Structure formats: C-alpha cells, structure tokens
C-alpha cells in the first residue's frame, strides 16, 4: 500500500494567491482528515469527512479555507486568498470505518509558505 | 485533556533501549495515555496507548506507574530510524461511535526529540 499521498510536498506562494492542497487517502479508508501543524499551535484538526461527506468543519479557521472530497480517493483543501499566517505544514490522514479514532494514518504533509 | 510534561531531548545509542518519560500528574480516572511520534518531514504515527496496565506491541512497550501520574515509553532496541519527536498525550479515549470533531482532535505538546546515535 502506498499510504496517504499528498501533493505538492512544498508550496511557496505570495499573499493573496489561491492555494490548493491535494490528498489521496489509503484505498478503502472511509474517513479523511485535514490537519494543520505550526510551532505555535501544534497540530490542529481542520475538517474531516466520512464517506466523502464533511462531518465537522469547526476547525476551519476562516471562510478563506474550504475543503472538498468529490470521491473516495481524492480530497482538496483550498485557501483563497492566502495570507502569511497560513504558513504551516498541512497533513491529511485517513482511517477505516471500523478502526478506532487514534488509528489514523498520516500523509507526509505539504509545507506551505506564504510570503 | 490533562497536561503532560516531557524532557525536550534525549540521546540513545543504537541497539540500546530508549526510555522516554512522561509526567501527567493531573490525569483523570477515565483518561488514557497515548504515544505518537513524528519523524522529520513525516506525519505523526500512532505508537501505543494504555489506561493503567502495562502494554506492549510490535513497536514499543508502555509502562504506567500505579498512581498513573507518569509513564514511560520503551523502545527495546532503538535503531537510527527511531530518531523522531515523541509525543505523550493524555485524554479521554476516542470513540469510534462519536462523530464529534473534537473526538478526533490531536493536540501535541512539545514532545521529546529522541536522537539515536550509531
């Protein structure tokens, strides 16, 4: 199994630009999570999906952030417009329907830098 | 969630046991101890968890003191690939039946940077 795949691994953009992060969960996993990690705030859950449906987006910081999951094998996290304070590592994770919540498998992350 | 305290860094010789301590003196009766690690440029990885009994799996052992105010993660034969930041988390266990977002929230502190030396 290839594990959770994220792209790009690194993204550098200017303030005001649109940024799209992509995630391919492990095949067969029903849950998909988006996290953000910074030195100041640690790892924060932004949103998660179950069977492609967003279940809880209370962690999404602002309306500038949006996430979609058009099918079971693909999800995007979009920031529009981006700001320097959005600079962070964004992780995608997935898990099986029957697995316990702590059994999430994380991708390698996308390091976003907004200048 | 109870607060945890871990040393910022530790060194270990390759092949030796690595013992990583965690203090959680304010732990509640229904809170579990979870350990994760994060290897450089990778996402967090679940290692092990426990309530009060010692636990062992293919990755590590978890020793929890009788008063549950501290615990130790043991990597029995550390390898260079075990170099990572190790996080101790104390919280009420996630419940697969609970769809609340906070149930899946992972809050990491500073953790311990374990460096395994050749």
- Please give the pLDDT value at position A1: 62
Q: Does B40 touch chain A (CB under 8 A)?
A: no
Give tens-digit pLDDT for B48-78.
999 998 999 999 999 999 999 999 999 999 9
What is the percent of chain B with per-residue pLDDT over 90, rounded to a whole number?
Answer: 69
Question: With contact defined as beta carbons under 8 Å apart, do A112 and A21 qualify?
Answer: yes
Q: What is the pLDDT of residue B18?
A: 98
For the ranges A7-16, A30-39, B35-44, B83-92, the maximum mean pLDDT occurs at: A7-16
Q: pLDDT band for position B41 (50/70/90)?
A: confident
Q: Residue B101 — very low, low, confident or very high, per pLDDT cuts 50/70/90?
A: very low
Chain A residues inside the 8 Å CB shell of B55:
none
Residues in chain B: 118
DSSP string spanning B47-91? EEEESSS-EE-SS-EEEE-TTSSEEEEEETT--GGG-EEEEEEEE
Question: DSSP character for A10?
Answer: E
Per-residue pLDDT band at B6 (split at 50, 70, 90): very high
Q: Which letter does DSSP use for residue A72 in this model? A: T
| pLDDT recorded at residue A102 | 72
How far apart, in whole angstroms, are the C-alpha atoms of residue A43 and residue A17? 24
* A99 within 8 A of B104, measured Cβ to Cβ: no
Q: Smallest CA–CA separation between B43 and chain A, in Å?
A: 5
Spatial distance between the Cα atoms of A93 and B100, rounded to a whole number of angstroms: 17
- Minimal-distance CA residue of chain B relative to A90: B43
Residues A24-52, mean pLDDT to the nearest whole number: 91
A45 touches chain B (CB under 8 A): yes
Check pLDDT > 90 for residue B28: no
A-chain residues near B102 (CB < 8 A): 58
- Which chain A residues are Cβ-neighbours of B46 within 8 angstroms? 102-104
Both tokens of residue B57? 């799996």
Question: CB of A67 within 8 Å of any CB in chain B?
Answer: no
What's the Cα-to-Cα distance from B115 to each of A68, B5, B40, B74, B82, rounded to whole Å? Answer: 38, 18, 11, 14, 8
What pLDDT score does B96 carry?
A: 41
B40 within 8 A of B46, measured Cβ to Cβ: no
Report yes or no: B5 and B23 within 8 Å, Cβ to Cβ.
yes
Q: What is the mean pLDDT of chain A?
A: 92
The residue with greater pLDDT, B101 or B103, is: B103
Is pLDDT larger for residue B95 or for residue A86? Answer: A86
| Helix and strand numbers, DSSP H then E, in chain B | 0, 9
Is the pLDDT score of B36 beyond 90?
A: yes
What's phi and psi for B101, nearest 5 deg? -65, -35
Residues B104, A50: C-beta atoms closer than 8 Å: no
- Number of H helices and E strands in chain A, helices first, is 0, 11
**Nearest-CA distance A84 → chain B (Å):** 21
Q: What's the confidence (pLDDT) of residue B99?
A: 47
Q: Which of B84, B96, B109 to mutate to test the interface with A (most CBs of A within 10 A)?
A: B96
pLDDT at A97 over 90: no
């Amino acid at each position: 199994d290839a594990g959770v795949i994220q792209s790009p691994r690194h993204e550098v953009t200017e303030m005001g630009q649109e940024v799209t992060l992509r995630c391919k969960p492990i095949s067969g996993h029903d849950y998909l999570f988006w996290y953000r990690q910074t030195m100041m705030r640690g790892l924060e859950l932004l949103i998660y999906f179950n069977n492609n449906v967003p279940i809880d987006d209370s962690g999404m910081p602002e309306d500038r952030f949006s996430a979609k999951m058009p099918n079971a094998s693909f999800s995007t996290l979009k920031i529009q417009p981006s700001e320097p304070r959005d600079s962070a590592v964004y992780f995608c994770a997935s898990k099986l329907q029957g697995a316990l919540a702590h059994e999430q498998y994380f991708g390698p992350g996308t390091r976003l830098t907004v200048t | 969630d109870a607060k945890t305290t871990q040393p910022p860094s530790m060194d270990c010789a390759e092949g030796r046991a690595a013992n990583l301590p965690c203090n959680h003196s304010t732990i509640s009766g229904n809170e579990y101890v979870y350990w994760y690690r994060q290897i450089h440029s990778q996402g967090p990885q679940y290692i092990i968890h426990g309530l009060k009994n010692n636990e062992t799996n293919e990755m590590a052992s978890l020793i929890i003191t009788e008063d549950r105010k501290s615990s130790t993660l043991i990597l029995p034969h550390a390898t260079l690939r075990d170099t990572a930041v190790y996080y101790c988390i104390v919280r009420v266990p996630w419940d697969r039946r609970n769809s609340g977002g906070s149930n899946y929230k992972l809050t990491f502190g500073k953790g311990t940077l374990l460096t395994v030396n050749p």
